[in-house]
Amino acid sequence: MLGRIRKEVRDVSRVQHIVKILIGHGLGYYLHELNLRHLVPIGKRLQPDTFSKRHDLPKRARFALEELGGVFIKLGQFLSLRPDLIPHEYADEFRNLQDNVRHFPTAQARKIIEQELKRPIETLFSHFPDEPIAAASVAQVYRAVLKSGEIVAVKVQRPGIEELFESDFDILYRLALLAKKRMRHEYFDPLKVVKEFESYTRSELDFLKEAHNIAVIKKALAHNKKVVIPKPYLELSTSKLLVMEFIDGTEVNHLPSNITRKQRAELANTISNMVFSQIFEHGYFHADPHPANIFVMKSRKIALLDFGIVGFLNSRLRQHIGELFVALINGDAEGLAQSFLDLGIVEGQVDKDELAMALRDALGEYYGIGLDRIEMKVVFNKLLHVAQQFNIHLPANFILFGKAMVTLEGVGEQLYSEFNLVETARPYVRQLRHKQTSLRELAKELSKSRYKLAANIVQLPGQVTDILSRLQDGELKVQLQHEDVRNLTAEISKATTRVTYGLLVAALIIATTFLQLARPGPTIFNIPILTLAILMFTLYIAFRLLRS
């Protein structure tokens, strides 16, 4: 009971603080829109004329979020990743959010380290500095030296941040509920947005998860000798503490003036290849490759930092993204519409022809032109606009992919004015398409689904028998409304043929999969000849099935 009272008092105090800051930045009118006038201190006025300079609103909102700190800075950073939810001018402005705050005492940081690792700090480090090298609303970072002599970066979570976040999340949910009732936004549900943001932020607060993210991406890029991913020390990392290799380098946007044009072009290509390799080959990728997270080392190698925001594209999403790229490059509006529908979750009926027409109108300027003239930022924003128009809810990981592409395009162009993202991506898309249509990949997918196919085939006779029995007993009624019974009979005959072909194809697929696993007799391209023969026959039957 006492804890709940304290929480309510804390929330009220925080709300009053939020109101004061919003009014101070000329954003108090939103309190009027949310019917929160009773929270405005006596003597303050909420005047619509405060918004006479509407072009200032995104900047004012950014300043307010920076002053509010904590969850609100993270909210702005999250919304900067989601231009499908807010106007693009706000998303662009929120990318400039500065998360620099006063650091907390190092004595507290030492105490947190000892509590997390249950060891005196002197037994862990031969040197631990008195001042951090960076401080943000969630954590601060120290450059320390382990007993083994290795130089490491130590990221320590700010004390009390979880309690502050809990209070702010509680307030955000209440505001989202009010916004849902009052504003009735047709494109998104504010409560769903806050829920997604909470999931995103809690993941970023878990430093142990970030350490595992680093380990996964480091393994994926181990073959790339031009890229350095810091080594995470998992045995020294917890949910509130992250220890990793210290990277000594220069931010990619602060390179010295003596870097030649050729060197800049090479750096842009190295960075883009690093990101495309993560996305199209592994599916697990750093979702925020902005300049502050990319360092150029003295060896001219590229180092990637800050793995709090990581996206994942499963094989299905990668396939549809590849199809989206191909359709865009080929100017195929119908293919673009289909891959777009395949990507998202559609609420209600969508006319595919209307969607194709909308995409053609939105992206028509890019059809039939050279790849060097395609701007990913414009394309992505137009795709999001069409998604809103047709109530297509795109998966969060696709949005992260788009954000990574837009950010990467900006970094590449900043380094090298002739950099073209789509041209650089083409070999990876081609390789992805080739891999998805290869016999080896087909055999792998068939192997994954063979048990499900076998179970369905085993169950099919019983299901047919059950339907016939229910028809015979009068338990199942079939109502036919057709003017021409003979046409209906013909359709039933065709359907029966299709089912027969389908069963045959399924059986052959299972046989091919088991033969591929058994690998009997001689092989061609590492595939048994018998398997190839049955596969060719299966493809013939499948072709007959499609023609029927």
Residues recognised as catalytic: 288
For residue 26, which phi and psi values (nearest 5 degrees)? Answer: 70, 25
User: Do 398 and 379 meet the contact criterion of CB atoms below 8 Å apart?
Assistant: no
**Are 171 and 18 spatial neighbours (Cβ–Cβ below 8 Å)?**
yes
User: How deeply is 170 buried, as exposed, middle or buried, from its count of CB atoms within 10 A (0-12, 13-18, 19+)?
Assistant: middle
Q: Which helix (H) or strand (E) holds 303?
A: strand 302-304
Q: What pairing do the DSSP bridges indicate for beta strands 241-245 and 392-393?
A: unpaired
> Given the DSSP bridges, would you call strands 139-146 and 151-157 parallel, antiparallel or unpaired?
antiparallel
Rounded distance between C-alpha atoms, residue 122 and residue 411, angstroms: 41
Exposed/middle/buried for residue 336 (C-beta within 10 Å: 0-12, 13-18, 19+): buried
Q: Both tokens of residue 467?
A: 């339907």
| Among 319, 307, 308, CA closest to 283 | 319
**Based on the number of CB atoms within 10 Å of its own CB, is 113 exposed (0-12), middle (13-18) or buried (19 or more)?**
buried
- Long-range CB contact pairs, 116-123, < 8 A, 24+: 116/238, 116/240, 116/241, 117/236, 117/238, 117/241, 123/147
Residue partners of 222: CB distance under 8 A and separation at least 6: none
Query: Is 372 in contact with 426 (CB distance < 8 Å)?
Result: no
